[in-house]
Amino acid sequence: MDLSQQDWADQLKADTNAVVLDVRTEDECSEGMIPNAINIDIYKGQGFIYAVEELDKAKNYYVYCRAGSRSAQACHIMNQLGFDHTYNLEGGFMQWKGEVDFPKE
Quote the pLDDT of residue 43: 97
Q: Which residues are catalytic?
A: 65
pLDDT of the chain, 105 residues: tens digit per residue:
999 999 999 999 999 999 999 999 999 999 999 999 999 999 999 999 999 999 999 999 999 999 999 999 999 999 999 999 999 999 999 999 999 999 775
**pLDDT attached to residue 77:** 98
Domain tally, the chain: 1
- Identify whether 105 is part of a domain: no
Per-residue DSSP letter, 33: B
| Strand runs labelled E in the chain | 2-3, 18-22, 38-39, 60-64, 86-89
For residue 7, the enclosing domain spans 2-95
Query: Which residue, 38, 66, 68, is CA-closest to 51?
Result: 38
Our measurement of the distance from residue 65's CA atom to the centroid of its chain's CA atoms, rounded to an integer in Å, reads 7
Instruction: Note if the pTM is more than 0.85.
Output: yes
pLDDT tens per residue, range 7-32: 999 999 999 999 999 999 999 999 99
Domain-embedded: residue 57: yes
In this structure, is residue 102 part of a structural domain? no
The reply to whether 79 falls in a domain is yes
Range list of H helices, 5-103: 5-14, 26-29, 46-53, 69-80
